[in-house]
Each structure stands twice: as structure tokens, then as C-alpha cells.
Amino acid sequence: LRVVFLIVFFFVYLFIINFIIKLKQKSLFYKNWLKYTLIYFIILSIFLLLIWPGHWVWDEFSLVSDAASTNINVWHSYITIIFITIALMIIPYPVGVVIFQVIAISLIFGYLIARLKNSFNNKWLIFAMYILFMLPAVLINNMYPLRLPMYAYAMLLLFTIIIFDYIDKRKMNLKKFIVLLVLMSLVILWRSEGLIYLVFLPIILYFAYKRSFNFKKVCAVFLLLIVIFVTYNKALNMIEVVPISSKRYSLTIYVNPLSMMLQQDLKGKSLNRDLENIDKVLSIEDLKENPSYSEIPAFWKTDCVREDFAEHLDDFKLSYINLILNNPAEFLKARFKTFFAANGLDKECQG
């Protein structure tokens, strides 16, 4: 964690120095960025004072405790523990996580509005964005010290850069690519649902930057993201302090989509091998017999998790990715069903 903190601190230092230099150079864009950031920061600070110390509900208490004792919380992602730990290193109080989050959110929102002004220069559109981001649901979400707010804003920043670069017809460069790569990695790794972006983000980059981003580079980005995904998960599996029970519980993210995909006729050159690797961790038979897009009955009601599953997790995850790549339609169909059910848009799941 100290190494991660030093890396983050180094890049934050570079960002601040670059920001100050741009302001001294009287950059209009950076002046607007700072102005819109400060406006939203004041709004969020007032709201935070009204509900001090933020919107704390349940899991975040244990996460702060885990971060303070450098324990890993598999269900909420190790990235969340890193984020909370860095926040506590800077402001050593639980509310420091919320304050750190408010600063990050204000900077991202300020950047969005600055790009909006730069591209359209419409004060009513800017005013509408402030109104939208001052809705009670947004404000309370900004005070919630779990991964969801920061994950949402990381995604917002990623697509703000991509969309406005496309509108302004800007080209890709090394500095921007590094920023986008970090944001893409966060979007893919921070939540299990982000795995779907492993396929779509390289394609989106191609259409946004096709003047300077050819098909070979898209393939290279795709392979690089796979390497990052596999390396991250392999590193987690190598950490001995992760209890087997937590690793077992983390498998729930795979049960739902697999149980639905296995109801279809799947394809792929290595299909049999992939299914064998999956079966070494999760029983294919139990998954097939207990399909659900809104729950995970195969996990709760059967013994679908193999006793020695931890020994085969690396091959399992690679085969899972391979299964998705060879059957994207089946995977998307399963995920969209879950999305509609989770948002109360599925009649079968309505009470």
C-alpha cells in the first residue's frame, strides 16, 4: 500500500504542478476548470456540513476498519481499500474519506463543465448541468463512502474525455493514452460488471480517435487490458491473507451470468476446455439446473463450488473471459436481463 500511495502521490503532485503552471500561463480552460470546480466544491461542502460526517449506512464502517488494519475486502474490491487507505493517510479520520471523495468529484465535475463550455459555450446548458448534479439523489450519493460514487465519476471522466475529444476532433497522444488506460482499468476492475467494457472500450476508442488510432492499436489496447485484468486477479489470488471464505463468496459474480449462458448452445474452438476449467471451480451441472438472472440459487441452494476451487481460479477466469468473447450475444442477453430485473423493469421480478 505504501508503494501504491507513493505512485498516486507522485501523479497527484504532477497534476497539481501542471495545473498551477497552466494557471500562471493564464490558460482559459484551466481557469474555467478551477472556477467550476470551486463552485461545485462549495455546494458539496455545504451539503456535507448539513449531514456531517456524510451518508454512512453499513458496509462502509467495516471497509474503514479493514483499511485501517490493511485487510482485504474481496466483495468491495481491493481498489476500494486502496482508495480509502489513501484518503485516511491524507486525512486520518473516517470523514476524511468523504472529504477526499468530495474533492475528487468536484474536480471531475469541474472538468466536465469546462469541456462543455469549451465546446458549446452555452450558459443555459451549464446551468442545467449544475441543476442536474444538485438533485438530492446525486448529492446524497456523493456523500456515500463506498466505491459506487467514485466508480460512477471515474466512468464519467472517461467518457467526458472521449466524447468531447470526438466533438472537438482531438487526436490521441501518449499522455492522454496513459490517462485513458488508467481510467479504463478502473472501470473494468473496480466492479465485476465492468468486465463488459473490456470488449467495448477499445472499439469506442477506435471510433473516437480513428484519425490517429488504427485497428492494430485497438487490438493492442484490448490485449493490454486483458493483461491488466489477469495480472490484477492473479495478484489478488497470490495474497495469502485473503481467506478462502472470501474467495468463495467472490465467485457469486460469475454464477448469475454463467447459469443463464449455459442454457444456450455456446460456441468456441476451445469450448470443451473452457467448460472443463469452469467445472473445476463451479459445477456446470448445478449451474445448468439452477438458472436465474435475478438471483444465484445455484450458489445458495447447491454445492456448486468445488472444494479445491482456489487452485483453479486463474484458469477459470481465463476460460470465463474466453467464453464471453466467443459468445458475446448470449452474455449481453443475460446481463441485460439482470439489469432490467435490478431496476424493477422485469415483470417476473416485481413484487
φ, ψ dihedrals at 25, nearest 5°: -80, 5
Residue range 279-283: mean pLDDT, rounded: 93
The C-alpha cell at 98 is 468523504
Question: Per-residue pLDDT for 10 more than 50?
Answer: yes
> Cα dist. 284→30, 170, 192, 260, 326 in Å?
55, 48, 21, 11, 18
Q: Calculate ∠ Cα 258-263-266, nearest 5°.
A: 80
| 238 or 338, greater pLDDT | 338
Question: Is the distance from CB of 189 to CB of 228 less than 8 angstroms?
Answer: yes
pLDDT at 351: 43
Number of neighbours of residue 295 by Cβ within 10 angstroms: 16
**Tens digits of residue pLDDT in 20-56:** 999 899 889 999 999 999 999 999 999 999 999 888 8
| 222 or 324, greater pLDDT | 324
Question: Per-residue pLDDT for 223 more than 90?
Answer: no
% pLDDT > 70, the chain: 91
pLDDT at 350: 47
pLDDT classification of 181: cutoffs 50, 70, 90: confident
* Poorest-pLDDT segment among 115-124, 155-164, 238-247, 284-293: 238-247
pLDDT at 59: 75
Question: Is the distance from CB of 57 to CB of 144 less than 8 angstroms?
Answer: yes
pLDDT classification of 293: cutoffs 50, 70, 90: confident
pTM over 0.75: no
Question: Per-residue pLDDT for 238 more than 80?
Answer: no
pLDDT at 72: 64
The C-alpha cell at 104 is 475528487
Residue range 11-19: mean pLDDT, rounded: 87
Average pLDDT over all residues of the chain: 85
Highest average pLDDT, of 48-62, 68-82, 112-126, 164-178, comes from: 112-126
Number of neighbours of residue 191 by Cβ within 10 angstroms: 20
Question: Per-residue pLDDT for 219 more than 60?
Answer: yes
Question: Is the distance from CB of 155 to CB of 197 less than 8 angstroms?
Answer: no
Q: Whose grid coordinates read 436481463?
A: 337
| C-alpha to C-alpha distance for 290 and 310, rounded to whole angstroms | 22
Residue range 206-223: mean pLDDT, rounded: 81
**Tens digits of residue pLDDT in 125-155:** 999 999 999 998 899 999 988 888 899 999 9
| 248 or 1, greater pLDDT | 248
Number of neighbours of residue 253 by Cβ within 10 angstroms: 16
Q: Name beta bridge partners: 305.
A: 282
* Poorest-pLDDT segment among 61-65, 223-227, 260-264: 61-65
pLDDT at 128: 93
Question: Per-residue pLDDT for 310 more than 80?
Answer: yes
The C-alpha cell at 19 is 495545473
